[in-house]
Amino acid sequence: MSDFIHQGWAHYVAIVTGVSIFACLLLLFVASKRKLRPGEDPNKPETTGHVWDGDLTELNNPLPRWWMGLFILTIVFSVGYLLLYPGMGDFQGKLGWSSAKQYDQEVDKAREQLQPVYARYMGMKTEQLAQDSEAMAIGERIFLNNCAACHGSDARGGKSFPNLTDNDWLHGGTPEAIHTTLVNGRMGVMPPMAAAVGSAEDVRNVAHYVLSLSGSPHNSVMAQLGKPKFAVCAACHGADGKGNQAVGAPNLTDRIWLHGWGEQAIVNIVTNGKTNVMPAQAARLTAEQIHVVGAYVWSLSNRTTASASTNQVAR
């Protein structure tokens, strides 16, 4: 990959661009001149030698001057453009413009315009924001633009992407926990545990024991055999299998399966492990935006609480 970002490519682009402009000028110069043969009448049109239907002759006349003028103007424009803007290899142009810089300027301008709106929200608690329809509309737009790619536009997630509308939280669903997740991101790691569990049969037995914890269909004999082997999993998931939000270990006693359900799915995770990454949003969103979208995410699984609070305020 380093070959594609080598400094030589910048020189290559600059040379090709310069040669192309010079070639266009040369072509225009050649096309504007007519070379007369010895004894040829300069007032007689030059032909290409192609004749159709007996008398339809193709002429080789120079380009009209107005047409030549337009071509020259385009070349002058291109030279001026390349002096002001990037285009000649790694030369940044006299104006110092870049798409990244323009994007940052537009984002800063938008944030400045929205600052008075966000300033009011920063003084409100999450529970209060969840009752503010305008704040939730803004939070929804932020969510759709930044979170929906993984969690879905309805926030119900999918395989390996958590559902944010239920109350099953890997790292906690309090406003503080959600805020921490948004700011710092999360790294969920389930290491391969097959070697620690034992044989392939032991892994299958553990899988059936895990299924039994949630009352899912399972082989009861295999589940009993797998129960002692589950001790190696209890360090994270707890002896009762109810998980540990401090380390992001899932609750195995409910029927919510983030990475797939059934014996084979559990065997695969125990054997191969699993790593899930929630990227940090602090570099993409402002503190005010994180506060608002955090309240929106909290509201998704606390609609009853938010509605009750709204009714109390209305009374």
Please tell me the predicted confidence (pLDDT) of residue 36.
59
**Could you tell me if 213 and 311 are in contact, meaning their C-beta atoms sit under 8 angstroms apart?**
no
Residue 259's contacts (CB-CB under 8 Å, 6 or more residues apart) are 159, 160, 265, 269, 274
pTM over 0.75: no
Give the residue from 135, 133, 115, 30 showing the smallest Cα distance to 286.
Answer: 115
Tell me how crowded residue 126 is: count the other CB atoms within 10 A of its CB. Answer: 21
To 5 degrees, how large is the angle CA 96–CA 101–CA 103? 145
SS3 category, 33: coil
- Domains of the chain (ranges; CATH) run 2-84 (no CATH), 103-185+280-314 (1.10.760.10), 188-278 (1.10.760.10)
pLDDT along the chain (315 residues), means of 10: 67 90 88 66 72 82 82 93 90 90 90 86 93 95 96 94 94 96 95 95 97 96 96 94 93 93 95 95 93 97 63 39
- Beta strand residue intervals within 109-215, DSSP E: 186-190
Helices and strands in the chain: count of H runs, count of E runs: 14, 4
CB distance 265 to 258 below 8 Å: no
C-beta of residue 129 within 8 angstroms of C-beta of residue 290: no
Measured distance CA(123)–CA(125) in Å, rounded: 7
Q: How many CA atoms lie within 13 A of 299 on its CB side?
A: 27
Q: What are the residues whose beta carbons fall under 8 Å from the beta carbon of 225, sequence distance 6 or more?
A: 202, 205
Sign of CA dihedral 43, 54, 63, 32: negative
Q: What is the pLDDT of residue 295?
A: 97
Is the backbone of residue 157 left (phi > 0), alpha (psi -120 to 50) or beta?
left
Strands 186-190 and 274-278, by their bridges, are: antiparallel
- Other beta carbons within 10 angstroms of residue 247's beta carbon come to 13
Would you state the pLDDT for residue 38?
66
DSSP one-letter string for 216-273: -S--HHHHHHHTGGGGGTHHHH-TTS--BTTTTBPPSSSS--TT--SHHHHHHHHHH-
- Distance of alpha carbon 174 from alpha carbon 189, whole angstroms: 22
Q: Which two tokens stand for residue 159?
A: 């395989």
Both structure tokens of 119: 């300033």
Q: What is the pLDDT of residue 16?
A: 92
